[in-house]
Amino acid sequence: MASQVLSTIKRPTDYFGAPLAKLLAEKISTVSRDFNTKGFLYNIEAVCNELSLTQRVELIADKLKTYLPKNFVKATGILHKILGPENPSETGMFTNYYWLLPVAKYIEKYGLENYEESIAAIGEITKRNTGEYAIRPFIRKYPKETMKQMKKWARSENFHLRRLSSEGLRPKLPWASKLDLFIDNPKPVFDILTILKEDEIKFVKKSVANHLTDYIKVNPTATHEFITQLKDTDNEHTLWIIKHATRKHAGSG
C-alpha cells in the first residue's frame, strides 16, 4: 500500500503533498469507516502544489482537524491506531516515519486544551518520528506540568523519549520559534540535562551537546558554570558531550 503511493513521488517536496495525504487517508480509513477520504484528499490536492514543505505539513494538519471527529479525544484515539511499530533505530525518523509530521502538527495546533491526551500522543509520535516541535506550545502554556513530564522522559528506557526531554527544550531549536522561558534561569533545564549527562546513546548525547551550545549563546555565564560542574568526571559520555558542546567556543575549555 505505502509503496504504491510512494512510487508516484518525483521530487522530495512531493512527499508532503498528495502522496502523503493519500497514505494518511489509507491508514485512517482502515480504523475509521466514517473518515471522508474523498473530501480530505480533494481539499489537499487542490492547493498543495503552490505551497512550501512546511505549509504542506500545516495544510494536512488542518485538514485532519476538518475530517477527524470534532472531539479531540476521539480524534487522537484514531491517530494512535495508525502509528504502527515503534522506531528501533536512531535514524529513520524523517525517512520511514516522515508521514507523521502532519500528525504531530495537528497535536501542536489543536491539542492545547487537552493536555493529558496531547502529551501522550506526543510521546507516542516521538517513538517513531519526533515531538520536539509539537511539545513547545505545551511548555509555554503548562511549564510546571510539562517540565515534570520531561523529567520522566529523561529517565525513560526509550532513548527517543530521553532525546525529546532535551531536544524539545532547546532555546534555539532549528526551524522552531525561540523558547526563551528558561533563558534567564536555566536551572530547570540543566536539571534535566544532568539526568542525561551520562547517556550512552549518541542520538541523545548529540541533543544534549547541541542544547548546551544553544545555551552558550543565550546565557553563557550560567552555561559555563554548569559545564564546569560537568567536567568533574571521567565518564566518557559526559566528556563527549562537553567536547561537542564547546567545540565552536574556544573560551569554553
- In the chain, what are the domain boundaries? 157-253
- Amino acid 13: pLDDT: 63
Closest among 193, 152, 201 to 171, alpha carbons compared: 193
Q: Interior CA angle at 243 toward 240 and 249, to 5°? A: 160
Task: Evaluate the CA torsion angle 112, 118, 119, 124 in order and state its sign.
Answer: negative
Look up residue 133 and give its three cell numbers: 516541535
CB of 100 closer than 8 Å to CB of 129: yes
Q: What is the full per-residue pLDDT of the chain (253 aa) written as tens digits? A: 343 334 444 455 667 889 999 999 999 999 999 999 999 999 999 999 899 999 999 999 999 999 999 999 999 999 999 999 999 999 888 889 999 999 999 999 999 999 999 999 999 999 999 999 999 999 999 999 999 999 999 999 999 999 999 999 999 999 999 999 999 999 999 999 999 999 999 999 999 999 999 999 999 999 999 999 999 999 999 999 999 999 876 543 3
- Amino acid 12: pLDDT: 55
Closest among 99, 103, 98, 178 to 136, alpha carbons compared: 178
Residue with cell 495508525: 82
Note the pTM of the prediction, 2 decimals.
0.91
Q: Can you tell me the distance from the alpha carbon of 61 to that of 103, in angstroms, rounded to the nearest whole number?
A: 6
- Amino acid 73: pLDDT: 97
In the CATH hierarchy, which fold is given to the domain comprising 157-253? 1.25.40
Closest among 105, 95, 83 to 175, alpha carbons compared: 105
